[in-house]
Structure 1
C-alpha cells in the first residue's frame, strides 16, 4: 500500500493544482460572497501546487532536475519586485512583494502547466492511436 502511494505521488501532484484551485475558489466564494476576493485567495494558496506540478512535468520531459533553477528564478523575481517597490514607494513591504510574486508565479506556472498537460495529452494520443 505504501509503495503504491509513493509510486503514484507524482501523478497526484500533477492532477492536484486544478482540483485545488477550483475547490478553494468555490469554498472562498461561498464564505466571502465576493468573486475577486475568492479568485485572489485561491490564486495565492494554489500557486505552490502549480510550481510543484510544472517541476514534475518538466523533469519528466527533459529528464533533469530543475528545482534549483526554479528557486533561483523565484528569488531573482522577488528581488526585482522589491527593487521596483523601493523605487516607486521608497518603502519596501515584504508581504506585498510576496503577494505580487505569488500572483506572477500563478500566472506563469498555470500557463506552463496547461501547455505541458496539453503536450502530454497530445503525446499520449499520438503514441497510442497514430501507430
Structure 2
C-alpha cells in the first residue's frame, strides 16, 4: 500500500487559471479521482468557464469564505464547512463575487477524473 501526505502549498500553481489552482490528486498519484484546491479572491471564478461535465460527478467542499455557484435555475451560496454537489450534465459556474469581503478556499473532488467539461451558454 502507498500513502501520501500532501501540502497544497507545495504543489505547483496551475498557470492560465482565473484563480489559484493546485492539483492534489496528481501530487498524491491518484488515478481514479480528481482532487483540487482552489483559492479565489473577490471577483475570481474557479473554472475557466460556465460549464457542465458529461460523466463527472463533482463536489465542492468550502474550507473558508463563501462560495457562490450559478446554475440555470438559481444561484447557491455555500458557506464554509458546507459542500455543494453537482451531477453530470448539470451546468454550473463557481465563483467568488466581486463584492465579497474575503477570499474563498475550496477543495473540489471529481470522479471519474476525466477532462469532459463542456462550455455552457446560459442564454441559449
State the TM-score, normalized to the length of structure 2.
Answer: 0.24
State the TM-score, normalized to the length of structure 1.
Answer: 0.23
Decide which structure has greater helix share: 1
- Work out which structure has the larger RCO, using CA pairs closer than 8 Å and 6 or more positions apart in sequence: 2
From the CA coordinates, give the structure whose radius of gyration is larger: 1
Decide which structure has greater strand share: 2
